[in-house]
Amino acid sequence: MPNNSFQIESNCLGERRGVTIFLTRNCLPTSRCPIVFCTDGQAVEAFSQRIERDINDRKLPPLVLVGAHSSQRRSQEYTLGQDDSRFRLHEHFFTKELPDWLNATFSLKADRNRTAVFGFSHGGAFALTMASRHSDLFGVVIAFSTAGAFEEYQMTEHTTGPTPRFYLSAGSREKPLLKTTRRFAKHLDRSKVDCVVTERHAGHDFTYWETELPLALKWGFAADHCAKNNVEIG
């Protein structure tokens, strides 16, 4: 199914924000398809081309990508410590207004066990922060090439539910980000959190993330889908 782009009104941000949806045909309101809330939602159209092929080849289950477009204030909205007021407003948009809009528009209600948050670079930082502050909403966290320092993303007192599962990835040519990823992975391992970590021979580039995302989605959702629907995933 083609991507659909929308402009939705955000009361908390006081502006309209772009959203791109990738919705496969089998994802009906009763199907309980996985839903992936994506930062930098402008990239959903490019990501979905590879993902749609994998769904058609039965390498991935039908799923929904919900991409919230980033703004000119991207770094302030995605990372704590720059403008915490703006961060909290964007956090409310991403975790409350956006899921409510998705349910009202498509009758798709996020089920934590089948809901992921995904981001790369500063978007990866935002995904990890959401893992801490909204673990009741997101059961799977996918973060690539996470920008920032490890200390910013440890699980904190904000945790409000069971710990999510994590898929982390970084490239060998983005050494500061690889270091952050390794330190966060060690933290998760010490805490006995379900986590997969991959390191690829890559830099800070979209081609790498585009290739890695289907692998992360397969890890996050394919096994559960197969068990319940007797589908063979290659």
Q: What is the pLDDT of residue 26?
A: 76
Residue 234 domain-assigned (yes or no):
no
Residue 110 backbone dihedrals phi, psi, to 5 degrees: -70, 130
The answer to whether the beta carbons of residues 137 and 127 sit under 8 Å apart is: no
**Which pair of tokens denotes residue 139?**
């059961």
Residue 191 domain-assigned (yes or no):
yes
Residue 157 domain-assigned (yes or no):
yes
The per-residue pLDDT of the chain, averaged, comes to 88
Q: What is the pLDDT of residue 27?
A: 81
The answer to whether the beta carbons of residues 37 and 108 sit under 8 Å apart is: no
Q: What is the CATH number of the domain that holds 163?
A: 3.40.50.1820
Residue 219 domain-assigned (yes or no):
yes
> Is pLDDT at 158 greater than 90 in this prediction?
no
User: What share of the chain in percent tops pLDDT 90?
Assistant: 73
> Is pLDDT at 2 greater than 70 in this prediction?
no
Q: What is the pLDDT of residue 234?
A: 30
Q: What is the pLDDT of residue 152?
A: 59
Residue 45 domain-assigned (yes or no):
yes
> Is pLDDT at 93 greater than 70 in this prediction?
yes
The answer to whether the predicted template modeling score (pTM) of the entire model surpasses 0.85 is yes
Residue type, position 36, single letter: V
- pLDDT tens digits along 101-141: 999 999 998 899 999 999 999 999 999 999 888 989 999 99
The answer to whether the beta carbons of residues 164 and 140 sit under 8 Å apart is: yes
> Is pLDDT at 232 greater than 60 in this prediction?
no
Residue 90 backbone dihedrals phi, psi, to 5 degrees: -65, -35
Q: Domain range for residue 15? A: 4-229
Q: What is the pLDDT of residue 131?
A: 86
The dihedral over CA atoms of 222, 204, 72, 37, expressed in degrees to the nearest 10, equals 10
Collect all residues with Cβ–Cβ distance below 8 Å to 183 and sequence separation of at least 6.
150
Q: How many domains does the chain have?
A: 1
What value does the mean pLDDT take over residues 156-175?
81
Strand extents, DSSP E, the chain: 4-10, 15-23, 35-38, 64-68, 115-120, 140-144, 165-171, 195-200
Residue 148 domain-assigned (yes or no):
yes
Confidence band for 148, pLDDT divided at 50, 70 and 90: confident
Residue 190 domain-assigned (yes or no):
yes
